[in-house]
Each structure stands twice: as C-alpha cells, then as structure tokens.
Structure 1
Amino acid sequence: MATPRLSLSYGQAFVAPDRRHHRSSMSVSMPDERQMQSKGAAALVSDSASRNALAKQASDLSVRGFLADYYSTPEHWEIKISVHRVLHSLNAWCHGQTRQVQDGSYVSSLSTLIFLGRDAHLFHVGDTLVFRLRGAEFEQLTRDHVTDLGGYRYPARALGMDARVDVDYAAIPLKQGDIFLFTTQSVRGTLMPSDYVGLIRQDASDLDAACERLAQAAKERAGERGYGSDSFCFQLVRVDELPDATPDRPSRVYGDLPIPPELNKGDRLDGFEVDDVLSRTAHSRVYRVHDIKSGRTSVLKAPSPELSNRNVYLEHFLLQQWVVERVHSPFVVRVVEPSRPRRYLYYLMRHVEGVTLTEWVRLHPMASLAQRLDLASQLGKALQALHRRDLIHQQVHPDNVLIDPHGQVILADFSACHLRDVDGHRRSRRLVQQVGLNEHSAPEYALDDEVGRRSDQYALASTIYWLLTGDLPYAVPTNRLRSHTDLEQLSYRSARSLNPEVSDELDEALRRALDPQRSLRFRRLSEFLYHLKPVRHGREESSIPGERKEPTKLWQCIAALLMLLLVLSWWLR
C-alpha cells in the first residue's frame, strides 16, 4: 500500500475587471516531490496600500521574490531559518528601492503558510489576513499590524517599510479537512464569520466556486455600505491528505549526501575528473575539474573530509552555495549546475582563467594609477552586489580576488560570507575567527566587537591601500590587536607619502574608510567608491599646470604678434 503524502487543493478569486491593475497578489506553490519533502508547499497573499502608485508592482514582487528565494535555500535548512533569511533579504531590497523612488513605494504586507509534513508554518508581516476553518470553527491566525494616519489605515511592520522587519511566526498542527482562507484588509466590514463558514461550506468540493461566492458576497455587501468593491481577493487552501507521522531523520540536517573523500589529480567523482588541486585547508577542498563527457572545466568545492562531524561548518558550507546562486554580478563568480545528479556534498563554480590580485601586482609592477583604481572600483562593485542581498563577505583580501586576462575582477571566495542581521553578529565573528583573520581584517573582528557592512568597507580600503602603495595603512596589523587600548596606537600612514601619484582627496577617502572606529567610516560603500573613479584623479592631475601651459604660450605669442603689427602700422604712416 502506498505511503500517504501531503495533498492540498486550492482555489482563488479576484474582484477586479482587470487583474493586471489589482493591488493584491496571491499564489500557491506545490513543487516536485523532492522539494515537497524538504521545503513543502507554500501559499501566500500580499497587499499594498490603496494610495500607493506602485501597489501592484510591490505586491507582485514580494510574492514572486519570496517563492523564488525560498525554494532556492539549501534543503537542509529548517523552515524558520529559510523563511526568516528570505524575508529579511527581501525587506532590505524593498526598503532600498523605496528610498530611490519618488512616487509610490515597494511597501507591502505579506502572509505565507508553509505546509510540510503534518504542520503548517505561518509567517506574517503587515495587515493581510489568514483564517482557518476547522469544522464550524472559524479563527483568524494573523494579527492586524496597522496604523491610522489622516483618516486612512496603513499597514505597519510591512516589507520595505524599515531597514529591519519584525516577522510573526506560528507553528500550526494540521488536521485533514482544514481549510485556510487568505485575503486582505479591504474585506473588513463586509462579511461576518458566519458568512464565511456558510459560503465556504455551501459546496466545499469546488474551492474556486467557493472563492467566487465569497468575492460576490463581499462586493454586494460593500456596495450596500457605499464604499469601493474592486479590491477584494480570496484564496482557499484545503488539506486533503496528511502523511504518516514519522520522526525527523538526522540526515535532514545535512542533506543525504556524504562528504567526498580526499581527491588527487586524475581521480574521478560524479563524472568529473580532477585536473588540479587548487586548495587544501582545514575547512575545505578546492579542485579544478572537467566534465568527462562535455569537457567543460569548472571548480569543485567540497568540505574537508575531517569535518564530517562538524555540523556548524556543514551548514555554512551550503550557505556558500546559496550565496553564489542568488548574487548576480559580472564581478562575482557564478555557480555551474551539474549535468548529472550529485552523489556527494559539493558545489561547482565557473572556472576563471586568471591570477590572484597578489600575482597581478607582481606581474605588473609598472601599472598606472588609473589601472589600479579601475581594479579597485570593480572590487567595490562586487561587494555592493553582496550588500544589496544583505550579505557581508568578511574575507576581502588580495588572495581572494581573481583578475582574468581581460582585466576584469572576480570575487571568488565565500568561506566566511554571512547573512547580515539574521543569526547575530557574534556568530558571524566566530565564523571569521574560525576561517582565520588576515592583515586586512577590520579591527572589530580581533576585538570581538559588532561587525557589519562597514567592516567590509575597511577590508576593501585596506586592500586598495596595499594595491596603491604595496604596504599596510598601519604599522601594527589589525589581526594582532589584543584590546581596545591598542586602537589608540594605530596611526594612519598617508598613502600619498608612499605613492606621490595618490591625490590628497583619495588619500583622505582611504583614511576615513580605514578608521579604526567603525562608526567613523563612510556611511555607505558608494560614498567611498565615488572617490576611486580614475577619471576624477585624471582631471585633477591635468588641471595642475601641465595641460594649460601650451595654450597660454600660444595666446601670448598671438598677442605679441598683433602688438608688433600695430607698431609697424604706426611706423609706416
């Protein structure tokens, strides 16, 4: 007899002549069997304020963005970790976009239920509504987070409203026959609980028809009470079948894949042959491999075999893959999808033909200031791509930066990359300390202080300082600091004193980005990158006496010639 699986049915209805102009968005996602076992099914509703010019874009984006990111998270992550990371990242993006637009905003409410096994996991921000109908009991599961302003009710604690978002969470045991209703705040004041129960139970076998009945009844009730009825939406999800109760398998924590054994040149794994061993560290192994069938070259990264029992690192290892998959930038290495199912725990990255920044400097000792600043600017753009996804790199230094034959910078190492403000700063610092501090690490890592994006700014500025001068900004390397009193002994060495081509303006920008006190650095990375543009420094240099000497002499000669002709004309009279 077949083992019972989670089975759901759903229906939807909008009250709008043209759904494209609706300010709400809904969706139910039931993935393939593998993801259904690890991630479950997702049902969600999103809504934006009626007076928002970008309401439709905001609600659609939050739904599509959530589903795309949630099903891209590593399968071994717990639901709560996955959803919180996705919502915090999505909130940061929406908040950043809202600050850049003048008309409208990307603020929206969002409620989602993740159905996995015999439980549903509710996550909620703002004022969207989720109800549960169990038998004759009709219960609201979400809280209304609203604020009254000028006679209008606006969502509070919504996506994109602030730099941080507070997410409501609840785990809900499921029973066969449970029906969940998703709708928006606009339905308030139309239907009573008894109306919902009667209209849904009238024919619960057809959920689309039930949603249509709810929409029509709400529209009629709104018309009777004299207010707009073109913004209602209803979504019903019914639990048709539940799986048997089974204990969680320990392998769910790590996935079912074993760590690869130690590999050497010529060894084969999952249809790949090892061409070279690029790196062996206490935490990972990095190999250059080629696909035996297609011949395509890529880079394979796997956990160190000695770490098979170190659960924390294995969790972070899969975070690295997730990081690379969701950051899309020409300056950040890309993930390569394997052509066959994996039998071991690893991930593949695009192979970059090139050298590290350390090797590039050795091979190009006569490189101009403009060339070096161009590399610095590209590296800054790579960090910006990470920061836009609410990620901090934490290990920016010359050996983690690749330069391809065309002079393009590729950031290729994510061994300490961390999602900001989700698991806490202390765990982030421990991760960096485990991977290892370096001479470009910000002082706060050695002193166990709070870290953030400005910590990446310091490492970037330190790397650029080294690129321009061949030295470090302080006589004492920051990874050797032992106490806060050591900060007072750090005295910035002017980059201009080591390289006269560095302008005073650039030197001052480096000094500020390298301030030992994190709060005194540039507030945004873009402010620091503004000072790295080679054009600025080229203009500054050309404005100094060289370029204007010849035009000045030309006009002096013309004036002298005219004076001579004038004198001759007087003489010949």
Structure 2
Amino acid sequence: MGKLHLEFGGYSTAGVKQENQDAFAAWLPTDSELTTKGSVATIADGVSSCSRAKEAAITCATNFIQDYRQTPQTWTVKRAATQVLQGLNRWCAGQHDYSMGEQSQMVTTFSALIFKSTTGFLFHAGDSRICRLQQGDFEQLSTDHHARFGNKKVLSRAIGIENNLDVDFRTFELRTNDLFVLTTDGIHEFISPKQIQSVLNQWLLKPNTSLEVLAKSIVELAIQAGSDDNLSCLLVKVAGLPQADLNEYHRQLTRLAMPPVLQEGMKLEGYRVLEQVFNGTRSSLYKVIKEDTQELYCLKTPSQYFVDDPIYLSGFLREEWIGQKLNHMNIMKIIPRPENAKFMYHVCEFIDGQTLRQWMLDNPTPTIVEVRSIIKQLIAALRIFQRQDMVHRDIKPENVMITSTGEVKLIDFGTVYVGAIAETEAWQEESVAVGSVNYVAPEFLLNNRFDFRSDLFSVAVVCFEMLAGHLPFNEFTPQSSSGLTVDNWQYISLRKFRPELPQWLDITLQKGLMTSPEQRYQAFSEFLMDLTKPNYNMLAQIQHRPLIQRHPLRFFKIIALIEFIIILLLLIYFI
C-alpha cells in the first residue's frame, strides 16, 4: 500500500456513575498531514475528586490533537507532542478552586498514540493504559503511574497535578494487523489482560465485526465483572503500512526527469535562461526570468552525474521542501515548481550579490564591526533552523551570500538534517559526514553525530577565517580526513594573524571552536553576546590560569632550565 491505513473504533459509558469523566478522541487525516504529522489516538480519565474532572479529560483528549496539528511540520513527533502536553499541563495545574482545596481542580490521566509512517509513538502519564495485540501476543506498552496506600490507590503522575509534567515516551515499529487497545481503569482494574485478549481472539475469528462493537463488548465484560467506575475503550488497527522509504518527495525521483544542460535563451517550463551563474559537479545555477510576470529568479538543476544516485537526488528534493518551510529574511526562499512540472529543479529567489568567499577576498582585513554584522545575520538564520528541528550541516563561505546592501542570505539546503523526516527513516541518511571538511565540527566528521552546536562550530570557523584570512587549525584535505582525531583541531590563536585584535575576541572564538560540543557555547545567543562585548569573567579565568596552561612551552623551558641548573650545581659540588 502507498500510505498508512488505520481503522478506529471506541465506546465509552458512565457505568454506575452519574457523570462520565472519561474522554477519548482520534484524528485520521486524509491529506498530506498523514505523512507530515501522522494520525493520533488519545484517551483520558478525569480524577473524580476534582470538581472539573470531566472538563480536564475532554480538554486534554481533544485539545492535544488540535494543538499538535498546529506545530511545525519540521518538528519531531516527540518535540511537538511534549511541548503541547507541557502547555496543557500548565493550564490544568493552574485551575484552582480554593473552596474545594488548594489543589488543581482539573487533573486527568492521559495516554496518546501517534502513528507516523511505519513508526508508533507513545506518550503517557497516569493509569489509563495502552496495550497491543501483535501476532497473537498481548502486551502492555504503558506503565501505570499510581501508588497504593492500604486499599486506596493514588495517582503518582497525571496532567494537572504539578506545574512540570513527566511524560513516558517510547517508539516502536508498526506491523500490519497490529491492534492497539486504549482503556481507562474502569476496565483494566476489573478484567485481566487474559480476559481482554480472549475477547480480541474471538473477534479475530469474526473479521466482519466492527471495532466499535468490539470496544463495546470489552466495556460490557468489565461491567459484568463489577466495575464501579466510568469505562472507556478505544481501539486502533493498523490495516496497512507505507513502504518505509516512500513519501511524496521520493515518488518524485521516478516521476521527474533530469533537465538538460541549459544555454542562454533556452526555456524550461515558463522560465527563460538569461545566463549561467554557476556550473559545478553537483549542480548548475542559472539566472532566469519568469516569462509571464517578468520576475527574476535563480533556477537550480541537479547534475547529470548523479542521475542514478538516490541519496543525492533525495537531498536535492529535500532542499526544495526545506526552502518552502522556512521564511526568514536571511534564508534563501524557494518557490514551488508548477504542479504539472516534468523536470527536477528548484526555483529560488534571485540574490543580487556575491558569496561570502568573494567578499573575504575583497576584504582581507575586515573590522570587527563588519564581521559581527555578517555573523549576527548568519546566526539569525541558523536560529530559525534550530527552532524547526533542523541542522544545516554545511556552513561555509560558499553557502553564504552577501547582497549589495549588506544583507546575508544562507543558501544550499541539500545536506540539512530534518528531525521530523529522520525519525521515521523516510530519507536515506548518509553513512558519513557531509559538508566541507575544514568547516565540519569534529563530532560530525569523526562520529557522524551533530546538533545545532555543530553549526555553531562551523560559524566560529567562518568568523575566524573572515578576521584572520586563515583557518583556526591546520587545513585538512578530503584525503586526510579519514585519519583525523580530535588532536587535529588544535586551535591557532587569532592574534598570530591579527595581533592588533583584542584578546577577548580570541578567547570567544576559541570557546566556539572547542572540539567537545559540551565545552562550546550552548546557545547561539551566548556566542553572539561574547562576540559583541568582552566577557570579563572568561577573560579573567584565562589570565589567571597556571603558567603551564597559559604558556606550556615557556613552562617546560623554565623547568628544563631549573633542572639544568640543579645538575650543574651538583656537578660543581661533587667535583
């Protein structure tokens, strides 16, 4: 099957109680959101001792889905769902009615499943329960968060109890015909897992019975067993799975043709070529005009050399997808191709300017103010990537454009890591680090591990090179990169090349270029702040370091001299 196919069915009743304080909800999109966000199932059980228990359950079960849908498509499921749950928890925890006591009056258990591609994501707090029937095995996936004091059961975790919510999270691979069972404790406190499994096995023998009927039969079994609580059961069946490596962009690999090499005056689907801006081994870039509007754009085409390379083509198409998701003045915009396009290419905004590499050649000894202005804009762009769960992974002077008015534009998204895509393995990921070896962070090049701090490292390299006209360590070659260790990133002082620059600036760059991500700046804003004005605390620490740390060579020379004097005195004494 080409996409995820799920079936839902549920049943809820107040049971012997007057009010039903349970709630469940499900969302199954029929459009592209099924790929980008997935499908959601939730269940909640309001705590009956609270005056607004029913409201808490309904709010969390339904608003979770609504708010999750509004999170950026580039966020991972974990980040999006966790952020929504923390917001719901803060709201519920703040709903006090002091006439009823000092505690929140909106407390509820909460369990959710998100199905995306071939992966399931579980979020859970409380003692509602998620189980799975898979190939005959019935397994509880969630953990009951409660403690017993004598015969009394008390929730140890739930939405609304405290301002901070601790949520269980796990992922698992989906299989066709998996059946997920979400229940409140009015069911599983009165019938055993074996009894539930027995009902499920009987249902398997009756394939025409709906999931709603099955859910109702589980509820009725618990009522017969003496349940004195609200009862809710939500069932989700995985009826079909997509192929793990297929989505809309991968399908384009076989649908779109590679465009030919373009010459001045040639036309491609409404765009006329004015000139070739760049022609490299991996892509070509053309200045074009859209004939119906007379607007200028850049058109980027893939290289014919990679026509059979799915990883390269995936990266090329991913660049288009990313460029359309990001909207910031310092990030190159990519506009959609025509819906009936037959060829693979990007249409990018036309940037009237030069690469940062050319700017550096034209400005070999720039001022701190000039460099800071460029770095500030570059960091503004990368903070957008960070907020979208993206890592650029190829920051270098060639991928930064400077317009005639001094505006910075970050370009080239072919190597960008997108958390939302990677979590379902929809993209073919590289087995080795991508990017230019002299700008790639050590942890990426050596261990293929990265996060925003890897981009920060690359920014620090670019900043150093702008000021010094030299890399902050001995230059690597692609051939030598296979034998590198952290010792190859020995920092060379900025003041070796520009002695007139202040020490605090040298210290700032050195921290940004630490080989360990944990020792670097932990935020772009911290790096930019220290790049803007001296960090006197850090400067004092450097100036008051022991001599062996400040000047190791001088220290060992002094030690050697002392040893020589001692030996000389001993020789004189014994002679």
Shorter-chain TM-score bucket reads 0.5 to 0.7
Q: Could you tell me whether the CA contact under 8 Å between 1:129 and 1:185 is conserved in 2?
A: yes
| 1:490 alignment counterpart | 490
Q: Could you tell me whether the CA contact under 8 Å between 1:180 and 1:238 is conserved in 2?
A: yes
CA distance in structure 2 between the partners assigned to 1:397 and 1:389 by the alignment? 21
Q: Work out whether 1:126 is the aligned partner of 2:123.
A: yes
Match of 2:142 among 128, 141, 144: 144
- Tell me the CA shift for residue 138 of structure 1: 11
CA distance in structure 2 between the partners assigned to 1:277 and 1:342 by the alignment? 21
Q: Secondary structure at the match of 2:352?
A: coil
| 2:456 alignment counterpart | 457
| 1:111 alignment counterpart | 113
Match of 2:41 among 40, 45, 51: 45
- Tell me the CA shift for residue 208 of structure 1: 8.9
**CA separation of 1:508 and 1:307: change in aligned 2, threshold 3 A:** same
1:286-297 correspondence runs (5 A): 286-297=285-296
Aligned residues with identical type, % of pairs: 18
Q: Could you tell me whether the CA contact under 8 Å between 2:146 and 2:155 is conserved in 1?
A: yes
Q: CA-to-partner distance for each residue in 1:392-444, whole Å, 9 max, x for gaps?
A: 222111121122344332211123223468579x9546251xx653x333345
CA distance in structure 2 between the partners assigned to 1:448 and 1:189 by the alignment? 48
Q: CA-to-partner distance for each residue in 1:36-63, whole Å, 9 max, x for gaps?
A: 9xx5995421468979999999877864
CA distance in structure 2 between the partners assigned to 1:527 and 1:222 by the alignment? 61
CA distance in structure 2 between the partners assigned to 1:468 and 1:48 by the alignment? 58
CA distance in structure 2 between the partners assigned to 1:344 and 1:196 by the alignment? 54
- Tell me the CA shift for residue 288 of structure 1: 2.8
Q: CA-to-partner distance for each residue in 1:58-92, whole Å, 9 max, x for gaps?
A: 8778646776789x79xxxxxxxxxxx94366468
RMSD of the alignment, in Å?
A: 5.8
- Tell me the CA shift for residue 292 of structure 1: 2.0
Q: Secondary structure at the match of 1:44?
A: strand
1:119-198 correspondence runs (5 A): 121=118, 123-127=120-124, 143-148=141-146, 151-152=154-155, 154=157, 166-173=170-177, 188-189=188-189, 193=196
1:149-548 correspondence runs (5 A): 151-152=154-155, 154=157, 166-173=170-177, 188-189=188-189, 193=196, 225=228, 252=251, 254-362=253-361, 368-419=367-418, 428=430, 430=432, 432=434, 436-437=436-437, 439-444=438-443, 447=446, 450-477=449-476, 483-484=483-484, 487=487, 490-495=490-495, 498=498, 500=500, 502-533=501-532
Counterpart residue identity of residue 520, structure 1:
Q
CA distance in structure 2 between the partners assigned to 1:190 and 1:279 by the alignment? 71
Gaps of 5+ in 1: 74-84, 116-120, 541-573
Counterpart residue identity of residue 347, structure 1:
H
Q: Could you tell me whether the CA contact under 8 Å between 1:123 and 1:168 is conserved in 2?
A: yes
CA distance in structure 2 between the partners assigned to 1:130 and 1:281 by the alignment? 53
**CA separation of 1:375 and 1:238: change in aligned 2, threshold 3 A:** same
CA distance in structure 1 between the partners assigned to 2:352 and 2:363 by the alignment? 17
**CA separation of 1:406 and 1:162: change in aligned 2, threshold 3 A:** farther
TM-score by length of 2: 0.63
**CA separation of 1:11 and 1:91: change in aligned 2, threshold 3 A:** closer
| 1:567 alignment counterpart | none
Counterpart residue identity of residue 123, structure 2:
G
Gaps of 5+ in 2: 15-20, 48-52, 95-108, 149-153, 540-575
**CA separation of 1:429 and 1:45: change in aligned 2, threshold 3 A:** same
Counterpart residue identity of residue 144, structure 1:
S
**CA separation of 1:409 and 1:166: change in aligned 2, threshold 3 A:** farther
- Tell me the CA shift for residue 263 of structure 1: 1.6
Q: Could you tell me whether the CA contact under 8 Å between 1:300 and 1:349 is conserved in 2?
A: yes
- Tell me the CA shift for residue 143 of structure 1: 2.0
CA distance in structure 1 between the partners assigned to 2:410 and 2:86 by the alignment? 23
Q: Secondary structure at the match of 2:175?
A: strand
Q: CA-to-partner distance for each residue in 1:511-552, whole Å, 9 max, x for gaps?
A: 111124455323444432331336989xx9xxxxxxxxxxxx
Counterpart residue identity of residue 397, structure 1:
K
**CA separation of 1:97 and 1:272: change in aligned 2, threshold 3 A:** farther
Q: Could you tell me whether the CA contact under 8 Å between 2:468 and 2:494 is conserved in 1?
A: no
| 1:555 alignment counterpart | none
- Tell me the CA shift for residue 464 of structure 1: 0.9
**CA separation of 1:507 and 1:42: change in aligned 2, threshold 3 A:** closer
- Tell me the CA shift for residue 369 of structure 1: 2.4
**CA separation of 1:325 and 1:13: change in aligned 2, threshold 3 A:** farther
